[in-house]
Structure 1
Amino acid sequence: MSDGAQFAIEHDDGGQGVLALSGPYLVSSIGNIDDALDSIDEPFGRLDLSGVTEIDTVGAWVACRLASRNDAEIVGASDRAQRLIKAVQGAGNDAELRPDRQSVWLRVPEAMGQMVMNGFAGMKGVVGFLGQVILAVFSLFRHPSRFRGKALVRQLELVGVDALPIIGLMSFLIGIVIAQQGAVQLAAFGAETLTVNLVGRITLRELGVLMTAIMVAGRSGSAFAAQIGTMKLTEEVDAMRTIGISPIEALVIPRIIACTFMMIVLGFYASVVAIVGGAVVGDLMLGIPFWTFLERIKEVVPIYDLWVGLIKAPVFGLIVALAGCYNGMQVAGNSEEVGLRTTMAVVSAIFAVIVLDAFFAVFFTEIGWG
């Protein structure tokens, strides 16, 4: 006979069914027969525990569940079993495990309303953060000795110098793709030489600065959010406030200045490298000598295309830095918030950059720089 928990259906003298439990009814032994107990479909009026050698809270809960399901009386329980059964019965709860789900006509408006409220709360937070930044800038003008020059130089290195290899490679490949695909399409009209115009104008006006901003958002914007967010969790930001150091002046302002300035440099650098990539394709595929391609760029690309890119670059850098620093300062609670805010910083920065790029395109077209 097995030493584990067992059960059997018996009948008393009156023919009434009796479920007799035997053996140890413990959390370690009851799992083997739990499914079998649930599948009992024969009715019984009594639950006999006289054969149970050991019992714990789980065993008492199983006995109570079986008795309540069949409206049966528990008999033959030891003193320990009676105490556990009484405790388990007192802890019962008839509440639903899951609340009733509202209809779609209520859930959708409620979700939309929550999104609107969250949007207004986010706008309020952004405006408040911008106010803090502006006040910190004026404060540094009044007290220039508080400006952290070493922190600015460090951020210039992290945002700009360290990003040169990856942005250069990305821009070079983008120039190759634009030139190759443009040449294939223009060949249908016998206008392969216009590939120079295509590469020069699209890189200087749009893709050079735009792709650089997206790369900086993913690289430096996320780093800003993660660094400041981690400092918030470890209470370093609170410690700075305690000793009289403004976190905005010490952490945010150097990052904003570095990202804004370096976006100009990186955007111009990316455009130049993309043009070089296009010149390589022109030399290898179109028969346009490398230096001739570059000389032709000066003739076919108007100077205002360069100014369009240089004007957009610092604005994009400012947006990326503000998104990263703002989301970093909003971190609170636990380490999961750091990952969430880092993701929000990158997504919001890229979205804002693309929207602003669309507005810039319309604006420059209206003023005759289209």
Structure 2
Amino acid sequence: MSEPGALPLSPPPSTLPPPVPPWASAAGDAAAAPPLDTPPLLDRSAPRECRVLGDWTVLSLREQYGALQAAVADTTAQASDTLWDLRAVGRLDTAGALTLWMGWGRKPPRRLLWLPEHVTLFAQFMQPGALPQRRPRLGPGLALAGDRLRGFLSHAHDLVALLGQLLLDGLRMARQPGLIGWREISANVFRAGAQALPITALVGFLVGLTLSYLMSRQLRAYGADIFITNILGLAVLRELGPLLAAIIVAGRSGSAMTAQIGVMRVTQELDALSVMGISHTVRLVAPKVAALAVALPLVALWTSALMLLGGMAAAHSQLGLDLATFAHRLPAVVQPANLWLGWAKSMLFGGLIALLACHFGLRVRPNTESLGQSVTQSVVTAITLVIVVDAVFAVLFSEVGL
């Protein structure tokens, strides 16, 4: 707002005599050319009035932005109804206008006199969202916690959206079986299942050997050698076999899935699929989720068998327990419900690992640094959630098969 006789968004009325620019000669030669790089000044000699003089350009303001902005803000704070006169300014560009605008508190003063060419400069700052709003400063701990919370909510939102789209596309594929990528499912079953058998066999055998060796020493001290079959069979078939297989597959196959989709993002293959009208979930996500949900229970069964084999070897070495006796007692002491529970968990683990791998792969930005970060996040998140889900299953089904 301006005082009577002056409009904030229009040139001053003709009734007000134009001021003499500071570079004019003593004889009143207002047409004389201003010198270059006239220092920016604020003339506050008149009460409740501030005249802006000199050149307010990016070159004239160098190393003075903060001081001049503080001076403008101080003048505004001392009297909110100060008359700001910009008619005598030499040159004014966006940098000078921004300095004044920030000093005014991101809004025009109540009393303002300016020239027509100044309207365009300041109009760009009056648009909504033209300048980022100042956020209250938080401590480093709160700021970090806020960033982590926003990141978690963003991931949760995208993951739920991906799951919903997968369910909708699953219904569409059920009505149109021709959309199902059987070849892609078969290839993922081979890569995530068959090719993972050697490493899971080695790790499973060694883990079973170690567990049985440690438990045998403790059981022998109490004369309970025969109970090695109960403890090892229940622990392996119900918990350790599915969990160990899921962790290995998450680190091996989950990272490969994330990297595959991430590279497609970097090479713009995902954009090409979108242009051709091919759904990412139908072509990429659904086959991987289905394949891993089928392959992981088989890998878990294989891993459990090798763990039991390693446990039998250690029990025979430490306790002298016959291998035939171990194999004969195992079905009698471990109920079939434990095996079915392990299989059900493995199917859920497989679908969860594949879904997370695709989620992080689709969030990759088109650069190699983002690709590496997404692969790491995919593996860490998948392993963490697998352990959390396994703990939930252990609590919910604590009375089943025991």
Contact 1:203 1:275 in 2 (8 A): yes
Determine if the alignment matches structure 1 residue 334 to structure 2 residue 350: no
Question: Residues 148, 368 of structure 1: CA spacing in aligned structure 2 closer, same or farther, 3 A cutoff?
Answer: closer
Tell me which amino acid in the other structure corresponds to 1:140: M
Question: Residues 188, 331 of structure 1: CA spacing in aligned structure 2 closer, same or farther, 3 A cutoff?
Answer: same
Tell me which amino acid in the other structure corresponds to 1:244: G
Question: Residues 196, 95 of structure 1: CA spacing in aligned structure 2 closer, same or farther, 3 A cutoff?
Answer: farther
2:401 is matched with which residue? Answer: 369
Give per-residue Cα distances to partners, 1:189-238, cap 9 Å, x unaligned: 11122111121110001100000000010001101100001001101011
Q: Show structure 1 runs of 5+ residues with no match.
A: 1-88, 97-103
Alpha-carbon distance between aligned partners in 2 of 1:134 and 1:91, rounded to the nearest angstrom: 59
| More helix as a share of residues | 1
Contact 2:193 2:299 in 1 (8 A): yes
Determine if the alignment matches structure 1 residue 221 to structure 2 residue 254: yes
Q: Give the TM-score normalised by structure 1.
A: 0.71
1:95: Cα distance to partner?
Answer: 8.8
Alpha-carbon distance between aligned partners in 1 of 2:375 and 2:296, rounded to the nearest angstrom: 20
Secondary structure, aligned partner of 2:306: helix
Contact 1:212 1:266 in 2 (8 A): yes
Q: Give the TM-score normalised by structure 2.
A: 0.65
Tell me which amino acid in the other structure corresponds to 1:315: L
Determine if the alignment matches structure 1 residue 291 to structure 2 residue 324: yes
Identity of aligned residues (%): 34
Question: Residues 206, 95 of structure 1: CA spacing in aligned structure 2 closer, same or farther, 3 A cutoff?
Answer: farther
Q: Show structure 2 runs of 5+ residues with no match.
A: 1-58, 67-136
Secondary structure, aligned partner of 1:198: helix
Determine if the alignment matches structure 1 residue 250 to structure 2 residue 283: yes
Secondary structure, aligned partner of 1:110: helix
1:332: Cα distance to partner?
Answer: 1.0
Tell me which amino acid in the other structure corresponds to 1:335: T
Give per-residue Cα distances to partners, 1:125-175, cap 9 Å, x unaligned: 111111111121112112211211111111110010000111111111111
Tell me which amino acid in the other structure corresponds to 1:223: A
TM alignment of 1:58-97, pairs within 5 A:
93=63
Which of 113, 116, 127 is the equivalent residue of 2:149? 116
Determine if the alignment matches structure 1 residue 189 to structure 2 residue 222: yes
Give per-residue Cα distances to partners, 1:262-281, cap 9 Å, x unaligned: 11111111111111111111
1:304 is matched with which residue? Answer: 337
Which of 260, 274, 277 is the equivalent residue of 2:293? 260
TM alignment of 1:144-159, pairs within 5 A:
144-159=177-192
Alpha-carbon distance between aligned partners in 2 of 1:131 and 1:278, rounded to the nearest angstrom: 43
Secondary structure, aligned partner of 1:331: coil
Alpha-carbon distance between aligned partners in 2 of 1:227 and 1:197, rounded to the nearest angstrom: 43
Contact 1:179 1:198 in 2 (8 A): no
Secondary structure, aligned partner of 2:325: helix
Question: Residues 94, 341 of structure 1: CA spacing in aligned structure 2 closer, same or farther, 3 A cutoff?
Answer: farther
Alpha-carbon distance between aligned partners in 2 of 1:325 and 1:131, rounded to the nearest angstrom: 14
Question: Residues 336, 105 of structure 1: CA spacing in aligned structure 2 closer, same or farther, 3 A cutoff?
Answer: closer
Alpha-carbon distance between aligned partners in 1 of 2:366 and 2:60, rounded to the nearest angstrom: 36
Secondary structure, aligned partner of 1:244: coil
Q: What's the Cα RMSD here? A: 2.1
Which of 155, 175, 181 is the equivalent residue of 2:208? 175
Which of 182, 206, 211 is the equivalent residue of 2:239? 206
1:94: Cα distance to partner?
Answer: 7.5
Question: Residues 93, 254 of structure 1: CA spacing in aligned structure 2 closer, same or farther, 3 A cutoff?
Answer: same
Tell me which amino acid in the other structure corresponds to 1:259: L
Determine if the alignment matches structure 1 residue 107 to structure 2 residue 172: no
Alpha-carbon distance between aligned partners in 2 of 1:187 and 1:283, rounded to the nearest angstrom: 13
